[in-house]
Amino acid sequence: MIVTVTMNAAVDRTLTVPNFQLGQRHRASQGLTLAGGKGINVARALKRLDVPVVATGLAGGRTGTRIVEELTSEAVLNDFVRIADESRTSTAVVDPTAATYTEINEWGPHVEPEELAMLLDKISYLARGADMVVFAGTLPRGVGDSFYAEAIRDLNRRSVPAVLDSEGPPLRLGVEAEAFLVTPNQREAEGLVGQELGDDEDYMMALDRIADMGARNVLITAETRSFGLSRADRKRTLFRADAPLVEPVSAVGSGDVLLAAFLAARVADKPFEDSLKIAVAAGAASTLEVGAGRFEPREASRLQSSVQVRVLEPVAG
């Protein structure tokens, strides 16, 4: 079983608006409402891959009730801590004609110390039967930057692998807490290492530096390629995976699907290289439909043959 933790859960509203222009009046051609937040998106994708998963986190007010109801309607097992303040609503506008999307995210609730303590107890309980715990997304107000790091250290003491997908100080502190796997996108990785990433050498440097900071495995996702670092038997192996060419409808949540597919492959004991190929194919498949965490597993399987994975070797000198 995999446990996902979403600290800043949301109701995600996605509107499809062809030829979207700022300052103009539009009529959406399609609307979709889902429970959202990165951890929930990962849980939704794991459910589609038939991996046992429990989604937990914080849910507050009427929006929190809606989040739980949406997950239950999708048959995603969930066990959220209810809090007093209102959970957030997020809106995304997808323009299929220009292959663009615009996101508007609310700040989210303020969390009280006793509510946070209840969540930590919940995570501790669920982790007893978990193969892995995934922390994904931003932290709501009232939660310190070190929250993920402290939770990761606690799981490490109990030999439960922790996965982290976040940004800024919470990501950096989680890396230093020796997370089993960290999965920043290009922008988040650049913030972590303090420089822009362009060619393979840049990404190899970033992978090594993030591993030096404490992460045991690293996965950096970019628009058309992903890079991975695997540690085994005191040896580091670096990989590059090129995504297949598809006509994207929406890229919202594609990184969450990529992560879910990677974890599903890893808990099934597939090698890192094969897991990366499966993950990149699933991430590409998710861009073919609207809705974070949604994808067709058969399409992902079909795309696997178009994913190119190779080992990266340092340039001599």
Q: What is the pLDDT of residues 13-49, one digit of tens each?
A: 988 899 998 899 999 888 889 999 999 999 999 999 9
Task: Report whether pLDDT(314) > 70.
Answer: no
Residue predicted with more confidence, 236 or 105: 236
Q: What is the pLDDT of residue 317?
A: 40
Where residue 57 falls (left for φ over 0; alpha for ψ -120 to 50; beta otherwise) is left
Q: What is the pLDDT of residue 289?
A: 84
The DSSP annotation for 142-195 comes to: T--TTHHHHHHHHHHHTT--EEEE--HHHHHHHHHTT-SEE--BHHHHHHHHTS
Q: What is the pLDDT of residue 249?
A: 76
Report, as an integer, the average pLDDT of 275-303.
90
Integer Cα distance of 135 and 256 in angstroms: 12
Average pLDDT, the chain: 93
Residue with tokens 């996605």: 14
For residue range 209-267, list pLDDT tens digits in order.
999 999 999 999 988 899 999 998 789 999 999 998 888 877 778 899 999 999 999 99
Binned at pLDDT 50, 70 and 90, residue 161 comes out as very high
Report, as an integer, the average pLDDT of 127-140.
96
Coil/strand/helix, residue 255: helix
Q: What is the pLDDT of residue 4?
A: 98
Enumerate residues 6+ apart whose C-beta is below 8 A from 19.
26, 95, 97, 98
Single pTM value for the model: 0.92
Report, as an integer, the average pLDDT of 278-303.
89
Task: Report whether pLDDT(196) > 90.
Answer: yes
Binned at pLDDT 50, 70 and 90, residue 316 comes out as very low
Residue predicted with more confidence, 154 or 315: 154
Please report the domains of the chain, with CATH numbers, ordered by start residue. 2-21+28-312 (3.40.1190.20)
Q: Check if the beta carbon of residue 281 is closer than 8 Å to that of residue 264.
A: no
Residue 72 C-beta-side C-alpha neighbours within 13 Å = 8
Q: In 3D, which of 250, 311, 238 has the Cα closest to residue 283?
A: 250
Q: What is the pLDDT of residue 315?
A: 53
Task: Report whether pLDDT(312) > 80.
Answer: yes
Integer Cα distance of 89 and 37 in angstroms: 10
Enumerate residues 6+ apart whose C-beta is below 8 A from 298.
none
Residue 223, number of CB atoms within 10 A of its CB = 11
